[in-house]
Amino acid sequence: MHLKQSLAGGVAGVLAAATMLWAGSAAAVTTDGNEIPYLGAGYNFEIPDSARHSDDGQGAQFTFGVPLATYGYERWAAETTLHMLSRDRHIDGKSDYQTGLLFDLVYDFDNQSIGNFGGGYQFKPFALGGVGIVQNDVRGDRHEHFGVDLGGGVLLPLGRFGWKGLAARVEARALGQVDSQSTSHNFLIDYRITAGLQLPLFFLFNNSGPAVAPAQECELAVVDPVTGRSDCGVDSDRDGVTDAKDLCPGTPTGTGVDASGCPMSSTPHPGDDDADGVPNEIDRCPGTRSGLQVDASGCMVSQSLQLPGVQFDNNTAVLTDDARKVLKDVASTLKNQPNVAVQIGGNTDNVGNKAYNLMLSQQRAESVRQYLVAHGVDAARLVATGFGDFHPVASNSTEEGRAKNRRVDFKLIVE
């Protein structure tokens, strides 16, 4: 009895916390980049209303959800949930059964994280509420009643383990029913805790892209003439410096540039061993990889860059020998500047199934991450994300353009 009271108190606490959070900002309760209809399945543990005089119940729950971002409600989803469970009566030990069909609105509170940047310990809390029909089978007598539920939980993305789009889902609900037939009480409240998995329906909605990214804060938004992508600035020569600040447009791909977009010599100068333009005597970050933007102290600044030499064996996530050489150099630089976190983005061309491309890009980004970790970079500083073919940098209508789109991007963030 004490255990039941403790669990009931814990469920009530979760519900209270979810209710207090019901005031977040504006992506539905899905894994990021997968805002498409989804299915969920899980195991139910029920703490029944004490008026039922029954043991705790067990059963299964199945969910079908539809994100409402298309209709302008970015953090909302509509869900239909079917649950089935059984519980044993105290008086004779025989089982009663319950089946419920509920229609809920779900609101998520965006990604939260525990620990250091990139540790992968991300979760997405959510709250839900709705109405439905509940059928109780008590001593063989079936009767239906109106039900209302309120609850909350967390979604735990499993993408970093290679299961793109898959997430673990844990939730708690209070289910109230107007029911005077099962007991002498007119209103019953049962508590349920559910743990299971949730998966986007890629095979039905493989043409759906990720949610539109929030508008960037900049004075002037421009449109890239090659990709059509809206951004704060076009970088036509892809050297990491926007055209508005690039004093040397048309720099060949892979050429190291300074903050003005002009080529830097890769030949060490006397007194500047890493050729970053900062003399050794004031260089606080020696050994910086050639081509990276640095500040006056010779340390990397936040920046986005591409590594053309990072390629993979055809249709695999296996790094080529040349790619390993490039990444070994990158790992050395990152170890010398531990305050830099890295977002690794895997990209593909548009050949083939979108869902497959998304999976392959995630595997390739993760392959790069694992290589860097194996060469001494702290795993907590690295996040690997696959974007499939959704972020092209060139036209996919030519082989040259498709080759450019099969790439890995790095976003360096100085913490």
pLDDT digits (tens, 9 = 90+) for 80-101: 999 999 999 888 888 899 999 9
| Same fold: 2-200 with 222-414 | no
What's the CATH architecture for 222-414?
A: 2-Layer Sandwich (3.30)
Q: Residue 40's pLDDT is what? A: 94
The pLDDT score that the predictor gives to residue 182 is 59
Which residue ranges of the chain lie beneath pLDDT 50?
1-26, 115-120, 206-221, 224-227, 266-268
**Which tokens belong to 24?**
């977040």
Domain ranges of the chain: 2-200, 222-414
| pLDDT (0 to 100) of residue 193 | 95
Closest to 362 (Cα-Cα) out of 409, 317, 309: 317
The per-residue pLDDT for 16 is 42
pTM here? 0.46
Q: How far is CA 90 from CA 44, 100, 153, 384, in A?
A: 20, 23, 31, 52
Architecture of domain 2-200: Beta Barrel (2.40)
C-alpha span between 283 and 355 (Å, rounded): 46
Which helix H or strand E contains 100, and what residues bound it? strand 95-108
The pLDDT value recorded for residue 301 is: 78
Q: pLDDT tens-digit profile of 294-321?
A: 777 677 778 887 777 788 777 778 888 8
Which residues fall within 8 angstroms of residue 369, CB to CB, at 6 or more apart? 344, 379, 382, 383, 384
